[in-house]
């Protein structure tokens, strides 16, 4: 039986995917559930499993190529199945007929991008009897560097400097003579699926959502002290991010009007606090989500975060692990950023940007003392929230970090009055 | 205010002597004669003969005395009538001033300034027309400054007096009457900082002290031919501000170095080496040096003129590197 293997649509936002690697080769036996390939979606690299069994008869998409969701990428069948019809369908949908005459029997679809075959080089000329001493061209270091930068063949240049030395102006003249070559050529790097997703989502947020921003400064001296104490009694460290998530959870419990989404004619009040934490990757970022934060104590949050972040960095998160946050935190403190503003990820109505914790002089009891301070900026969707609501949230967030005992108290059953 | 190079030096020393009672001036004719070139005009009247000390003709003696005073905590300024006579004090300068801090393991510092005119004036002949800055630059432990303008002279002399280490401060007889802006009051320029005195794109001319003025004149003439020269004044010869020099060379790719001293093992040789080491790939041609002639200075005025770099030789050199 022939099974068509298509590029799956693995997330709601996914429009195309890249075949990162084939795990089976043409001719390999395949059973249902076998991993056929690794697919890069807009957020993660995922395994593509076989839905049919037999043999992997044909691979249609080379590794590294992006194809639309739903496109045929391989064919599974028994060895005696005739797969030509299926393949013909694939070529007709992927190749414009004007450029490619319809192939006859088995269309030659390469499994790897095959460059044009290089022309066969003629046999090298027999060595001449009289050895010619190649006179090296004289060229100034500056001219040489410039020529190399523009990929100009030095042997084509005529030097105008002393003794026929090729100098900068000779290279500049040659570059001007070849228009287009002078223009600085950027290196074109195709967007990764993740980069495309980030570009789309941030544009969709920043343009239509009226953002406003509130900044405050928080003393982290006490919180850092508690973190150090935890380090003396516990093997795995308590991360600063865990403190932030716990503090945000408490503040959201106190101010549920922040934990909302704007939905046109109504506000959606979320009944659960799901906090996303932005994690930088080599080629973008991803926001793993801790679900129902209110039900975990701070140490559990710290442990869950650590494993989530590790898996995010390995691009092993499942879609449900990085979507659907109701609030998010982005911490650029480790990069030494003092303060910044985050772009909201709709439908979230608020997002917190956290700066670095640093020692600063502050006035306390009429004396200048050193304190550990951290700036945070809350981005808000003005359609859902107003300034005072955001400010009150920040007040609570600041209080629980400056008097951090509350972060460590046992979880209280949610009380109605708040 | 606008004032002469001489007045700039006078102001710098006067302000520092008023500010710091450890600072004193010592040398031949610095007191009642007001300085051989009138640089210390009014000093003995204001500060008295204990802080403005006239000496016998004994360069090794009074330089050594001043080094001892520096070791004991004072901040002497030694005026050499000219640096030609400083040769007599060379042992004190090279073997004591430059080395005591090192040899005492940092227990003793020598905060001393040794200043006076270098280079040729007019018809002072072979023994009194020398540019000896390369001698001092050769010695680790010495800082060497050769300012060209009243503004730089004041700012750098104050920095030199405040510096905790020995500084050789080379002036020029022919610069003393030149005029320029002198910033009033507290004005210092960090030691080891070059300055781009004229911005250009085609060629970098490196010149200091008297030669800077010639280089600027040459650049003005070259501009009439459409050649925009960038003129960079190192100001401090050691430690050298390689960064500023390299930035200019990276822009222009062509270099002319102007110095009044002799060519062999002269300061320009060092400047060229620094450029070749750090900016070889930026060069579009070999560096050209304009130097004093490799001879004892002739007394004859026409011959003397031929032995010292002039504006036209700089212009010729620039056209040569641009060929």
Specify the pLDDT at position A199.
83
Q: Which two tokens stand for residue A403?
A: 């008097």
| B171 and B210 co-located in one domain | no
Specify the pLDDT at position A188.
67
Residue pair A89/A70 in contact (Cβ under 8 Å)? The answer is no
| B27 and B99 co-located in one domain | yes
Residue pair B288/B271 in contact (Cβ under 8 Å)? The answer is no
Domain boundary among the residues B181, B206, B224 is at B181
Of the pLDDT bands very low, low, confident and very high (cuts 50, 70, 90), residue A180 is low
Q: In terms of CATH architecture, what is A141-177?
A: Irregular (4.10)
CATH for B245:
3.40.50.920
In sequence order, the 6+-apart residues with CB closer than 8 A to the CB of B187 are B151, B154, B155, B158
Domain hosting residue B276, numbered range: 195-322
Specify the pLDDT at position A412.
65
Alpha carbon A130 to chain centroid, angstroms: 62
| B88 and B45 co-located in one domain | yes
| B172 and B219 co-located in one domain | no
Does residue B190 lie in a domain region?
Answer: no
Specify the pLDDT at position A125.
45
Give a three-class secondary structure readout of chain A.
CCEEEECCCCCCCCCEEEEEEECCCCCCEECCCCEEEEEECCCCEEEEECCCCEEEEEECCCCCCEEECCCEEEEEECCCCCCHHHHHHHHHHHCCCCCCCCCCCCCCCCCCCCCCCCCCCCCCCCCCCCCCCCCCCCECHHHHHHHHHCCCCHHHCCCCCHHHCECHHHHHHHHHHCCCCCCCCCCCCCCCHHHHHHHHHHHHHHCCCCEEEEEEEEECHHHHHHHHHHHHHCCCCCCHHHHHHHHHHHHHHHCHHHCEEEECCEEEECCCCCEEECEEECCEEECCEECCHHHCCHHHHHHHHHHHHHHHHCCCCCHHHCCCCCEEEEECHHHCCCCCCCCCCCCCCEEEEEEEEEEEEEEECCEEEEEEEEEEEEEEECCCCCHHHHHHHHHHHHHHHHCCHHHHCCCCCCCCCC
CATH for B104:
3.40.50.970
A142 chain-B contacts, CB cut-off 8 A? 253, 281-284
Does residue B292 lie in a domain region?
Answer: yes
In sequence order, the 6+-apart residues with CB closer than 8 A to the CB of A278 are A285, A286, A287, A328, A329, A330, A331, A342
Helix (H) or strand (E) holding B115: strand B113-118
User: How far is it, in rounded angstroms, from Cα B229 to Cα A412?
Assistant: 77
Q: Judge if the upstream peptide bond of residue A272 is cis by omega within 30 degrees of 0.
A: no
| B142 and B219 co-located in one domain | no
The nearest alpha carbon in chain B to A171 belongs to B284
Domain boundary among the residues B126, B154, B181 is at B181
Mean pLDDT across the stretch A170-177? 86
User: How far is it, in rounded angstroms, from Cα A27 to Cα B172?
Assistant: 90
Does residue B188 lie in a domain region?
Answer: no
| B47 and B18 co-located in one domain | yes
Instruction: Please write the tens of the pLDDT for every residue from B115-149.
Output: 999 999 999 999 999 999 999 999 999 999 999 99
Question: Among B173, B179, B97, which residue's Cα sits nearest to residue B130?
Answer: B173
The domain locations on chain A are 3-94, 141-177, 208-408
Does residue B82 lie in a domain region?
Answer: yes
| B209 and B286 co-located in one domain | yes
Angle B102-B108-B111 from CA coordinates, rounded to 5°: 95
B128 is catalytic: yes
Does residue B172 lie in a domain region?
Answer: yes
Angle A377-A383-A384 from CA coordinates, rounded to 5°: 70
Q: What are phi and psi of B215, to 5 degrees?
A: -65, -40
> Hey, are the CB atoms on A143 and B284 less than 8 Å from each other?
yes
CB of B3 within 8 Å of a chain A CB? The answer is no
Of the pLDDT bands very low, low, confident and very high (cuts 50, 70, 90), residue A119 is very low
Class of domain A3-94: mainly beta
Instruction: Please write the tens of the pLDDT for every residue from B64-84.
Output: 999 999 999 999 999 999 999
Mean pLDDT across the stretch A174-188? 64
Of the pLDDT bands very low, low, confident and very high (cuts 50, 70, 90), residue A136 is low
| B242 and B268 co-located in one domain | yes
Specify the pLDDT at position A410.
82
Domain count within chain B: 2
| B16 and B92 co-located in one domain | yes
A167 chain-B contacts, CB cut-off 8 A? 284-285
Q: In terms of CATH architecture, what is A208-408?
A: 2-Layer Sandwich (3.30)
Instruction: Please write the tens of the pLDDT for every residue from A5-33.
Output: 888 877 777 788 888 889 888 888 988 88
Of the pLDDT bands very low, low, confident and very high (cuts 50, 70, 90), residue A184 is low
The nearest alpha carbon in chain A to B323 belongs to A161
Domain boundary among the residues B154, B181, B208 is at B181
Q: How many CB atoms lie within 10 A of CB B165?
A: 17
| B161 and B45 co-located in one domain | yes
Instruction: Please write the tens of the pLDDT for every residue from B152-166.
Output: 999 999 999 999 999
Mean pLDDT across the stretch A70-79? 88
Does residue B186 lie in a domain region?
Answer: no
Residue pair B196/B167 in contact (Cβ under 8 Å)? The answer is no
A164 chain-B contacts, CB cut-off 8 A? none
Mean pLDDT across the stretch B22-46? 97
Same CATH fold, A208-408 and A3-94? no
Of the pLDDT bands very low, low, confident and very high (cuts 50, 70, 90), residue A93 is low
Instruction: Please write the tens of the pLDDT for every residue from A389-408.
Output: 999 999 999 999 999 998 98
Q: Residue B8 pLDDT > 50, yes or no? A: yes
Question: Which 275-294 residues of chain B touch chain A by CB within 8 A?
Answer: 280-285
Residue pair B219/B170 in contact (Cβ under 8 Å)? The answer is no
Q: Which DSSP symbol is given to B238?
A: E
| B226 and B77 co-located in one domain | no
| B52 and B171 co-located in one domain | yes
User: Which position has the token pair 């010495």?
Assistant: B142
B321 chain-A contacts, CB cut-off 8 A? none
CB of B201 within 8 Å of a chain A CB? The answer is no
Residues of chain B with pLDDT > 90, as a percent, come to 98
Q: Which two tokens stand for residue B160?
A: 């030199």
Does residue B189 lie in a domain region?
Answer: no
């Amino acid at each position: 039986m022939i099974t068509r293997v298509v590029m799956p649509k693995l997330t709601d936002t996914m429009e195309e995917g890249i075949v990162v690697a084939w795990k089976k080769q043409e001719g390999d036996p395949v059973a249902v559930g076998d991993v056929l390939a690794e697919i890069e979606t807009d957020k993660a690299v995922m395994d593509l499993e076989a839905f049919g069994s037999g043999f992997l008869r044909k691979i249609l998409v080379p590794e590294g190529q992006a194809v639309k969701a739903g496109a045929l990428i391989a064919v599974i069948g028994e060895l005696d199945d005739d797969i030509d019809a299926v393949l013909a369908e694939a070529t007709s949908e992927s190749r414009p007929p004007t450029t490619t005459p319809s192939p006859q029997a088995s269309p030659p679809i390469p499994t790897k991008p095959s460059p044009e075959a290089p022309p066969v080089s003629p046999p090298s000329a027999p060595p001449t009897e009289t050895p010619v001493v190649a006179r090296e061209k004289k060229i100034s270091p500056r001219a040489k560097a410039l020529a190399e930068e523009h990929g100009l063949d030095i042997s084509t240049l005529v030097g105008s400097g002393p003794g026929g030395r090729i100098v900068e102006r000779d290279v500049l003249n040659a570059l001007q003579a070849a228009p287009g070559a002078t223009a600085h050529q950027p290196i074109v790097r195709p967007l990764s699926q993740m980069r495309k997703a980030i570009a789309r989502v941030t544009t969709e947020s920043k343009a239509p959502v009226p953002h406003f921003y509130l900044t405050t400064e928080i003393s982290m001296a006490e919180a850092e002290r508690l973190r150090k104490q935890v380090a003396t009694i516990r093997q795995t460290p308590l991360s600063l991010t865990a403190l932030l998530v716990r503090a945000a959870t408490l503040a959201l419990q106190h101010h549920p009007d922040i934990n909302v989404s704007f939905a046109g004619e109504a506000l959606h009040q979320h009944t659960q606090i799901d906090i996303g934490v932005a994690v930088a990757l080599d080629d973008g970022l991803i926001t793993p989500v801790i679900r129902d934060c209110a039900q975990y104590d701070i140490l559990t949050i710290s442990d869950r975060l650590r494993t989530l972040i590790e898996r995010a960095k390995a691009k092993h998160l499942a879609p449900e692990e990085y979507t659907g946050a109701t609030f998010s935190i982005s911490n650029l403190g480790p990069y030494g950023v003092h303060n910044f503003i985050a772009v909201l990820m709709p439908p979230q109505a608020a997002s917190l940007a956290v700066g670095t914790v640093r020692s600063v002089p502050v006035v306390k009891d009429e004396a200048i003392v050193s304190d550990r301070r951290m700036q945070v900026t809350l981005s808000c969707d003005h359609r859902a929230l107003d300034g005072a609501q955001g400010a009150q949230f920040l007040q609570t967030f600041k209080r629980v970090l400056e008097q951090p005992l509350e972060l460590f108290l046992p979880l209280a059953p949610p009380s109605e009055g708040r | 205010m606008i004032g002469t190079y001489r007045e700039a030096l006078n102001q710098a020393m006067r302000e520092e002597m008023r500010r710091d009672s450890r600072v004193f001036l010592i040398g031949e004719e610095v007191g009642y004669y007001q300085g051989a070139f009138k640089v210390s005009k009014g000093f003995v009247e204001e500060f008295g003969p204990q802080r403005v000390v006239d000496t016998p003709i004994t360069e090794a003696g009074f330089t050594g005395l001043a080094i001892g005073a520096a070791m004991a905590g004072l901040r002497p300024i030694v005026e050499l009538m000219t640096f030609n006579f400083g040769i007599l004090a060379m042992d004190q300068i090279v073997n004591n001033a430059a080395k005591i801090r090192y040899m005492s393991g940092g227990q003793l510092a020598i905060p001393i300034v040794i200043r006076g005119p270098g280079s040729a004036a007019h018809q002072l002949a072979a023994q009194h027309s020398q540019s000896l800055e390369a001698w001092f630059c050769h010695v680790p432990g010495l800082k060497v400054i050769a300012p060209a303008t009243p503004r730089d002279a004041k700012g750098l002399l104050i920095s030199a007096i405040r510096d905790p280490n020995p500084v050789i401060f080379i002036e020029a007889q022919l610069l003393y009457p030149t005029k320029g802006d002198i910033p009033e009051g507290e004005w210092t320029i960090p030691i080891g900082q070059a300055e781009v005195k004229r911005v250009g794109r085609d060629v970098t001319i490196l010149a200091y002290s008297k030669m800077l003025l010639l280089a600027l004149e040459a650049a003005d003439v070259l501009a009439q031919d459409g050649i925009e020269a960038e003129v960079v004044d190192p100001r401090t010869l050691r430690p050298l501000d390689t960064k500023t020099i390299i930035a200019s060379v990276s822009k222009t790719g062509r270099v002319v170095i102007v110095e009044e001293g002799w060519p062999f093992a002269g300061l320009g040789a060092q400047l060229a080496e620094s450029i070749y080491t750090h900016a070889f790939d930026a060069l579009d041609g070999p560096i050209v040096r304009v130097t004093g002639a490799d001879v004892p200075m002739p007394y004859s005025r026409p011959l003397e003129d031929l032995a010292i770099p002039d504006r036209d030789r700089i212009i010729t050199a620039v056209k040569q590197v641009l060929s």
